[in-house]
Amino acid sequence: MDDLLKSAFVGTASVAPPTPGGHLVEAALPDTSGDIEHSVLLRAGARAVWERAGYQPRREVLAPEPSPVDERNEVSERGAVILRLVFSGEARELLPEFLEQVDEAELRLPAALLPDALSAVGRSHELRRLIRKVIGERGRWLARLNPDWAWAGNEQAEVADRDSLERLWGEGSTSERVEALKTLRESHAAEARNRLEGTFGNEKADVRARLLETLAIGLSLDDEPFLEKSLGDRSESVRAVAADLLARLPASALVQRMTARADAMLLATRGGMLKRTLKIECTPPQEIEKEWLRDGVPKIAPHAGFGPRATWTEAVIGAVPLSHWTTRFEGTPNVLIAAAKEDEFGDSIIAGWTRSAVRSGSEADWLNVLVTFWLESLVASAGKSRKQADAFKQYFYQQQLQSAVAGLDREAAETFVASHLRQNDTVGEIAFSLLDRIPRPWSKEFTRAWLGGAVSILNGKVQRADYRWVQSLGIAASAAPLACLDEMIGELEPIGTDPEHQFSGATRRLLDTIRLRRDFHREVSAQRA
Amino acid sequence: MALTNEQVIGLAPDAASAAAGRKLSALKNWEGLGACDVAVWGKCKGSAVYQVKVDLANFGYHCSCPSRKFPCKHVLGMLLLHADSGSSFSEVQPPDWVLEWLGKREARATKQAEKAEATASAPVDDAARQKRAEKRESRVREGLDRLEVWLKDLIRNGLAGVETKPTSFWDDQARRLVDAQAPGLAARVNRLAEIPATSSDWPHRLFGEIGQISLLVEAYRRIEALETDLAAEVRQLIGWNLTTEEVERDGERVKDEWQLVGQWVDDDGRVRTQRTWGIGAATGRTALLLQFAVGAQPFAEPIVPGSRQAGTLVFYPGASRLRARFVSRDEPPMPLDDDLGGSASIEQFLDSVAGMLARQPWLREVGGVLKDVVLAPGRPWHACDRNGDALPLFGSQQWAALAITGGAACDLAGEWNGSAFRVLGLRAKGRYQPL
């Protein structure tokens, strides 16, 4: 603070200002005839103008080296307009599709969009992977200059080499360490497990659970000792992961233990006229021992409306391979389900079988029967009394149905749902509610089936009381394959442009999303040619 | 002429309108599309049919929809469509509803020109006007006297004390100046209120601003002794406004091809001010085009950054010769693709600023183009020229600017405020990009 300012800051009543004439510009000021404050004010003004006019720029600021040259071309201006919309938040679910198309067409994102793109991606591992493919040299160069975008600074995200893996494992964020461990697990399963065991005790609970999940890759009995030990972990989420993984190994000790418990609970009898009709009865214990809890059986009920014994039944049976039952009871899935469903704990038994089927991933026969069973149960329970117990049951059946459908392979899932879409009643509604379990993108056949069902409703041929089917419009907008888009536009346009139609708004939104996809695809394809 | 996609999106009042406009830019939404050299038109089929027209000669637009956004999504959609597929605009002869509108606009423009002439030559009630003017002069003089006393008290008691003063301390003085019919000074006093809170060297900055206000007061007291231009400027700074007629009568007219290199909107909560900087391609003159709007109202004239507009500007009388307005536009605006005028180095730019300050010492913001600079990220960002000089930058689009240039040199357009350069646009690889 120079003397003049100091005097003004403290007050000229306390500190006299320095005599004028020292500063060059003050020579131009008029004489203020002894008015001290006036003089100070004018001098302040003169100095301010002096400083403004004499502003000195900074010297020798380091600018970055120019970016390396890109070989790929940028997406066209029209495509860029669409991308900008999507990066700014509209129809974000289309981002993965668009980025893939840009990459396939061997294009890169326009430079002006790079900051939006790099910021919009957030922490999603999948989006980061996709973005990396299309930012080009310019994008990588830019990312290296901003610490927030450091993750995009290098081409190789799939770090296959050892050094990068080590570095990520040692210094990376949790997500990066999980990815590194997964990569290692794919090629060196045992070593990955050993590394994990080594640091396990020092990791925080939620990190332990995420890392342990990576053992799902290349899971084998070699992993059993470590997993058994983890059944005693302090954290419940870790124990749950360990129990789930062990249940996937039919030869594991946990599965043996569960099988023994299940065998003790279930009893088969043959009744009926000719003593040929199989009946399964379930008698879960009144209390369970500590070992059950250690093996992942929950103490309290996860499903509302179900008591602890039902919960234990489902958990135990869920850990037993289905072949055990077809052998022991000598029946097909159909027969066994029919045999169990009348029992007091029938729903829980079958829920357990469902869990086992989904976990195994190779029980298509069982799953095909299970989905039908849950669908029928759901239909039967729908529209019944408004008692809470029935509402819980309905919710339970809905969840079981969704799990079972999610366990089907794509073709089976599509066939199952498509076959029910056009039905006029509750079944049709339920089919619509399963749409988000179908893997994406949908097949052309399935899309046509959906379209047929949706158009029937929209044209009033089929009545729907439930509004939930409208949500399928949103799902279809991004799940339908590109090949079907023109057809969808053709069928749905008349409804979208009809201002009287009840669903014209929702239909228009779907059409907007579809057109966005189609327009972008056209732009990018045109550039490829 | 067609605006580019980017320029049309730039016209949109907000992101939602841009998105809605894009959705409407498909051929199937339109019928009766046509274009000739003075207009573009079409009918948009949506929940109703809306007539959309754009005047290319005096760039303006109109849509029959009830939307309160300007331009509305129908105008945006049609312009986007025009940008992409001009050939779809097959009609050549404007239909009646377009001709009628163009006619009305033409009539209105002529009427305004006539009105300007009329007021210029009409006899005025001299006596009444003289009396009003004298009354104002004496009010202002009293207001300035009081302001000076207030400022001297500040200095006597010390600036340190203002840190704890409530906002009413500044507000009251500003209001008194408004009452004294000196709104320009009132605005300056209002700005003082923000200084103590904003930076660590606030005493220095506050001292400087107060000093400059004192110089202005002093200049007004000696206004007889000032030369005409400076006197006119001092009056404007204190708060006398010129009417459009006066500006057009007395202002300097310059005909050129004006490169509109940058624009931003200053929103103080009460009024929005659109500031656009233009550079004359032939004359090298710098011009500041100001427009004002209240609330969500649109700005009266469409002024598109990133375009070049051939036409005549009239500069407001005064010492700074920066503020200007269009009196005629000779052609529709074109995309700005050519080399930009501007300063070859930072030193040259700062020299020109110093020159302007010599003519008008209260000048705050000066727009311009820094040619051949590279961008350096940091806190703050800098623009660096080939001589090794660097100016600090501010704005929200630095990363986009760096991405576009890829580290290569570019021409940077913006507004210098005495301590930092607000980035408004850049030209790289032969293309101009507003930011």
Taking an 8 Å cut-off on Cβ atoms, the answer to whether B358 and A53 are in contact is yes
Tell me the whole-structure pTM to 2 decimals.
0.76
What is the pLDDT confidence band of residue B399, given thresholds at 50, 70 and 90?
Answer: very high
Average pLDDT over residues B89-118: 79
Residues of A in contact with B361 (CB under 8 A): 49
Higher-confidence position of B213 and A506: B213
What sign for the dihedral angle of Cα B328, B332, B333, B334?
Answer: negative
Q: What is the model's pLDDT at position A298?
A: 85
The DSSP annotation for A4-61 comes to: HHHHHHH-TTTSPPPPTTSSGGGGGSPP-TT-HHHHHHHHHHHHHHHHHHTPPPEE-P
What is the pLDDT confidence band of residue B124, given thresholds at 50, 70 and 90?
Answer: low
What is the pLDDT confidence band of residue A420, given thresholds at 50, 70 and 90?
Answer: confident
Taking an 8 Å cut-off on Cβ atoms, the answer to whether A55 and B418 are in contact is yes
Residues of B in contact with A490 (CB under 8 A): none
Of A269-278, A361-370, B276-285, the poorest mean pLDDT is in A269-278
Nearest by CB to residue B389, choosing from A8, A14, A57, is: A57
pLDDT per position as a tens digit, B222-239: 999 999 999 999 999 999
A67 → chain B, closest CA residue? B406
* Whether the bond into A333 is cis, omega within 30 of 0: no
Of A305, A315, A362, A373, residue with least CA distance to A339: A373
Tokens coding A308: 């602890």
SS (H, E, C) A362-410: CCHHHHHHHHHHHHHHHHHHCCCCCCHHHHHHHHHHHHHHHHHHHHCCH
Q: Which of A4, A35, A37 to mutate to test the interface with B (most CBs of B within 10 A)?
A: A37
Q: Which of B5, B14, B22 to mutate to test the interface with A (most CBs of A within 10 A)?
A: B22
What is the pLDDT confidence band of residue A378, given thresholds at 50, 70 and 90?
Answer: confident
Taking an 8 Å cut-off on Cβ atoms, the answer to whether B15 and A66 are in contact is no
Cβ–Cβ < 8 Å for A484, A490: no
Distance CA A115, CA A517 (A): 23
Residues of B in contact with A53 (CB under 8 A): 353-354, 357-358
How many other CB atoms sit within 10 Å of the CB of residue A275?
Answer: 8
With residue A311 as reference, give the H or E element that holds it: helix A308-318
What is the pLDDT confidence band of residue A464, given thresholds at 50, 70 and 90?
Answer: low
Taking an 8 Å cut-off on Cβ atoms, the answer to whether B211 and A66 are in contact is no
Taking an 8 Å cut-off on Cβ atoms, the answer to whether B214 and A42 are in contact is yes
Q: Å from A311 to nearest chain B CA?
A: 50
Q: What value, to the nearest 5°, has the Cα angle with vertex A451 and ends A500 and A405? A: 125
Residues listed for chain A:
529
Q: What is the model's pLDDT at position A137?
A: 94
Of A335-339, B275-279, B380-384, the poorest mean pLDDT is in A335-339
Of B212, B243, B215, B260, residue with least CA distance to B317: B243
Distance CA B415, CA A199 (A): 56
What sign for the dihedral angle of Cα A293, A297, A302, A308?
Answer: negative
Distance CA B334, CA B1 (A): 7
Cβ–Cβ < 8 Å for A7, A17: yes
- Three-state DSSP at A274 gives coil
Q: How many pairs of residues across A and B have Cβ atoms under 8 Å apart?
A: 171
Q: What is the model's pLDDT at position A466?
A: 60
Q: How much is the ipTM here?
A: 0.79
- Three-state DSSP at A269 gives strand
Q: Å from B84 to nearest chain A CA?
A: 8
Nearest by CB to residue B211, choosing from A45, A67, A116, is: A45
Q: What is the model's pLDDT at position A386?
A: 66
Nearest by CB to residue A146, choosing from B155, B215, B399, is: B399
Give strand pairing partners of B60.
B55
How far is CA A373 from its chain centroid? 29
Q: What is the mean pLDDT of chain B?
A: 88
Q: What is the mean pLDDT of chain A?
A: 87
With residue A329 as reference, give the H or E element that holds it: helix A322-329
Higher-confidence position of B261 and B118: B261
Average pLDDT over residues B323-350: 89
Please tell me which of A388-392, A498-502, B151-155 the model is most confident about, judged by mean pLDDT. B151-155
Q: Which of A26, A59, A61 to mutate to test the interface with B (most CBs of B within 10 A)?
A: A61
Cβ–Cβ < 8 Å for B41, B94: yes
pLDDT per position as a tens digit, A13-27: 998 888 887 778 888
Cβ–Cβ < 8 Å for B297, B327: no
Nearest by CB to residue A49, choosing from B350, B357, B390, is: B357
Judge whether residue A207 has pLDDT over 80: yes
B207 → chain A, closest CA residue? A44
Judge whether residue B398 has pLDDT over 70: yes
Judge whether residue A157 has pLDDT over 60: no
Taking an 8 Å cut-off on Cβ atoms, the answer to whether B208 and A51 are in contact is yes
Of A159-173, A477-491, B340-354, the poorest mean pLDDT is in A159-173
Q: Is B9 on the interface with A (CB under 8 A)?
A: yes
Q: Å from A112 to nearest chain B CA?
A: 5
With residue B280 as reference, give the H or E element that holds it: strand B271-280
Distance CA B412, CA B423 (A): 7
Average pLDDT over residues A273-301: 85
What percentage of chain A has pLDDT greater than the value 90?
Answer: 44
Taking an 8 Å cut-off on Cβ atoms, the answer to whether A46 and B388 are in contact is no
A65: exposed, middle or buried (Cβ count in 10 Å: 0-12, 13-18, 19+): exposed
Taking an 8 Å cut-off on Cβ atoms, the answer to whether A45 and B214 are in contact is yes
Residue B150 region, left (φ>0) first, then alpha (ψ -120 to 50), else beta? alpha
Where do runs of H (alpha helix) occur along B180-276? 183-198, 202-221, 228-238, 244-250
Nearest by CB to residue B155, choosing from A37, A61, A67, is: A37
Tokens coding B105: 């606009």
Nearest by CB to residue B157, choosing from A13, A52, A59, is: A13
Judge whether residue A463 has pLDDT over 70: no
Residues of B in contact with A41 (CB under 8 A): 151-152, 155, 210-211, 214
B402 → chain A, closest CA residue? A142
Taking an 8 Å cut-off on Cβ atoms, the answer to whether B158 and A59 are in contact is no
Average pLDDT over residues A486-501: 84
Q: Which of B375, B391, B399 to mutate to test the interface with A (most CBs of A within 10 A)?
A: B399
Q: Which residue in this structure is represented by tokens 């009033």?
A: A460
Taking an 8 Å cut-off on Cβ atoms, the answer to whether B400 and A44 are in contact is no
Average pLDDT over residues B194-206: 88
Chain A contacts in chain B segment 370-409 (CB below 8 A) = 374-378, 382, 384, 388-392, 399-400, 402-404, 406-408
Q: What is the model's pLDDT at position A509?
A: 86
Where do runs of H (alpha helix) occur along A68-188? 77-87, 95-104, 114-120, 125-134, 136-144, 162-171, 174-187
Taking an 8 Å cut-off on Cβ atoms, the answer to whether B19 and A54 are in contact is no
Judge whether residue B374 has pLDDT over 90: yes
- Three-state DSSP at B207 gives helix
Q: Å from B350 to nearest chain A CA?
A: 7
Q: Which of B29, B148, B207 to mutate to test the interface with A (most CBs of A within 10 A)?
A: B207
Taking an 8 Å cut-off on Cβ atoms, the answer to whether A12 and B5 are in contact is no
Judge whether residue A65 has pLDDT over 90: yes
Nearest by CB to residue B210, choosing from A38, A41, A88, is: A41
Average pLDDT over residues B259-286: 91
Q: Count of H helices and E strands in chain A?
A: 27, 5
Which residues have a Cβ under 8 Å from the Cβ of B168 and sit 6 or more positions away? Answer: none
Residues of B in contact with A115 (CB under 8 A): 399-400, 403
Distance CA B307, CA B6 (A): 11
Q: Å from A8 to nearest chain B CA?
A: 5
Please tell me which of A200-204, A306-310, B387-391 the model is most confident about, judged by mean pLDDT. B387-391
Higher-confidence position of A179 and B349: B349
CA R_g for chain B: 24
Of B22, B154, B170, B18, residue with least CA distance to B84: B22
Taking an 8 Å cut-off on Cβ atoms, the answer to whether B4 and A78 are in contact is no
Q: Å from B328 to nearest chain A CA?
A: 32
What percentage of chain B has pLDDT greater than the value 70?
Answer: 97
Of A418, A416, A414, residue with least CA distance to A442: A414
Q: Is B148 on the interface with A (CB under 8 A)?
A: yes
Q: Which of A58, A108, A518 to mutate to test the interface with B (most CBs of B within 10 A)?
A: A58
Largest CA distance in chain B: 75
Give strand pairing partners of B35.
B40
Largest CA distance in chain A: 129
Nearest by CB to residue B388, choosing from A55, A60, A82, is: A60
Q: Å from A520 to nearest chain B CA?
A: 12
Q: What is the model's pLDDT at position A156?
A: 59
What is the pLDDT confidence band of residue A369, given thresholds at 50, 70 and 90?
Answer: very high
With residue B40 as reference, give the H or E element that holds it: strand B39-45
Distance CA B342, CA B285 (A): 9
Nearest by CB to residue A1, choosing from B203, B210, B408, is: B203
Residues of A in contact with B418 (CB under 8 A): 52, 55
Q: Is B97 on the interface with A (CB under 8 A)?
A: no
Average pLDDT over residues A250-273: 89
Cβ–Cβ < 8 Å for A7, A15: yes
Average pLDDT over residues B163-173: 89
Chain A contacts in chain B segment 198-237 (CB below 8 A) = 203-204, 207-215, 218
How many other CB atoms sit within 10 Å of the CB of residue A529?
Answer: 5
What is the pLDDT confidence band of residue A380, given thresholds at 50, 70 and 90?
Answer: confident
Q: Å from A125 to nearest chain B CA?
A: 23
Judge whether residue B108 has pLDDT over 80: no
Which residues have a Cβ under 8 Å from the Cβ of A244 and sit 6 or more positions away? Answer: A296, A359
Q: What is the model's pLDDT at position B119?
A: 62
Q: What is the model's pLDDT at position B278?
A: 95
What is the pLDDT confidence band of residue B401, given thresholds at 50, 70 and 90?
Answer: very high
pLDDT per position as a tens digit, B50-86: 888 888 766 788 888 888 777 888 989 988 888 878 7
Distance CA B296, CA B69 (A): 8
Q: Å from B366 to nearest chain A CA?
A: 12
Q: What is the model's pLDDT at position B29?
A: 85
